[in-house]
Structure 1
């Protein structure tokens, strides 16, 4: 062509010819670029609304179609879009017949064959059923059911991998899958949620509903032939530009937003609110007037009921007092039986320990000479898993500790038997208050050590004896010490026990002082009342101090409490000596 032009203008003068040559060569690159601009061949699914579909004019339409056209416009690309059956378009891209597809769900299997852009949306896969079908919530619940889906779709791959092949029924499109289900074939259909809702609405398949809305989610992207990095980067760049400029959101709202729940405007909220609030206010006003009328009658009737309740409460309290006393007595009876049985069971094996311990000591003493000889002749050796050189000194001490422990078990069991023993007749005899205090301390030694690190006991020498029942006084002392332990907020606070003889009054005194939380002034005068307790939520019955006070009074003694709230409490137990009882 250039040769013909030169030949036709040979008659022109040299300057004109030079000018023509300049124009031709200056425009040559642009002409070549325009003639060589490549058209990108694009394939898509003709029946995947609202993402890809053929409109009423027979033209490609849908979310991904508009999105690609907008990318082509901003990137200066020529695109030729053809929609058809998805299985064929999938194979066309795989075989190089087209350059890209409008949309493809990403998976590991497909990622080995194609390259994918950044996802332009997320597609949720759903399970659809006829309205009278049992509800399912997962793919696993579809086993053994006839499941309809479109051929070569992403869920075809997924269900085939999960071993559903024998239960699958196929259609060429998602719409075909739902039509088969609506006609009564198969049990369920697995279709992308938005296309499924779109198809149901457009085709008026009113007997179908989604029963599980998100059984799987996939990234939905443009797909290109493997290795076509140039086209891939152009598409990603164009998609990023559309998102920055807001064009992406406009396209999204046009196609996908219509299937999402509509947003209610503030005007509608106010309008509907007024329609509800005005009648409600009128109803509320009427209710207030009516309630005022009833209120006076209610107050009057409430006062009458309060009077009746108070009277019934007093009667019930008296009844509960007698009932709880019976329960407490029954508990003490059961405790005595239980302790006797347990003491017997413990004493038998413990007696064997005490009986066999001297034999063990003698056996070791006899064997020690032989073991020492073996040690000197052969060197150290394992004896009970420990070198004999150490065990020779340890074993006698271990035997002593076992013997002392068994004796301690016997003392505790004897103390428990004495404490829980039920006397069929009231046996009054002289006893030493110091002995009773020591037994009580041994009984609750564990409680004391778990409550405080500062427990101190001071017993006066040569206390005069008092007359009474030692076991019942033990019960009182145990109760007072336990109360003192419970009053301590932490183990750094202390408890002290002191006994002494008050010669002018002719009485023996036990004083228990704790550094606990103290007793509130309004409660101090009521603490020996039956059933009064501040520890009801932790199981307190309010009988402990009441019973203790009754026991002490029975023996002519007294129980006095002095307390400063937040500082501590001092309890003073006083019993008359035998001489004072005789004089009385």
Structure 2
């Protein structure tokens, strides 16, 4: 009940105190009085033609609201700025929308602002020194959009500098990032629009290459223009914009197209009702404090979820990119490696055949040179040389084979009815010899009557082998046992495999990197860092999940969950 009374009080205060509240509703347009407005046809989100060739954008919606406020109908014609100015001079259009104060002053037009333009300065990452005036740009190579607000501003101020004109802001940012320029300068009234361009540039080149370096002060005014002699229209223009300001219509349109409104001018126009707004806001804050706390908790929860999903998308993107690269180069690496291994065995046989002859000469003549090396050294180290070459080439072949496995998209059709217990026992049998060499005991615990899942038993077998071998190699005491268990999660309708060791464990700051290609803690022991990446790809193909739980000094548990078949 108190909340209802509060809102009734708020409504009555607005009706009594806000200027013109009861009379400033949307006016009915007079069909006999039409305002023709001109703007740019290709300046989104400010003015543009949509897929139906209809004018849309921030300036378009604002001029329509303004026409309604003035009690007029409006016809909007979008073209290039030079043509619009010509039509205005010929009185074929009445108002120019989306005009800067610099442009209006240059062409001697009546001008009334509704927001501000910020002339932003950008530099390459690492070279961004604060610049807040034209003086800071003197002697520099700068990029400016042709015919834009900044271009006109520099022309009006007779600014002498090494200026290169480009067609769009995106082109200016790209040239700045990739070529020998010091700064890019252009005007924005939308922070959101600017952020989109910087994000696009970062996505295009894979990293942040351009950063804000400052802003030319003071900001310029941005609004509508008309002929000075059209005094009646100018008067209505001023009254209409003030009315839109008072009722907050302009800020709603601004937020819709350009994001949150931040101009100091908007604050100044609210001073006349400041005390009323402040008192009502204080009461409103008291009633919604509890709501805010609840919403904040929900926002935090959603934010964490979005961050987790974003990391998953980044991981998928990295895997896809590397897979594309690998598929193109693995074959080119494997062929010469095969030739090295084949020819090495031939050279080794040749050397063994010639070794008796070389030994006889060594006994008869003493030490001699062969291939730039003393034979006395060669006869002692030849076996080690051949072994090292063979091991190096075999190592290359192993890495290429792992790369090909990583890049493989999974030619097996995932249409097989797979039982996790059967695959686990088969995988352990396959690596039984390797486990004995490692003195590694694996204890298996399988739940009965686990339902099947749809997939490829061969591919899942590959994952299990990888996880068990990793667990064996993580032991710091060779007497430690590896535990593998399966069970069915009825709550999630998933079959689950857990592989647990009590080895050295993994630091928390490394857990997020485990699935990254080429990430390994066993580089000196021959690890390629592709095993878990390949396993993660296989699990993803089966619409499953892989999870790591590890503590340093206590060990690691890996859980693989796969969706069970319904009705099993």
Shorter-chain TM-score bucket reads 0.3 to 0.5
Query: TM-score under structure 2 normalisation?
Result: 0.37
- Tell me which structure has the larger Cα radius of gyration: 1
Query: TM-score under structure 1 normalisation?
Result: 0.36
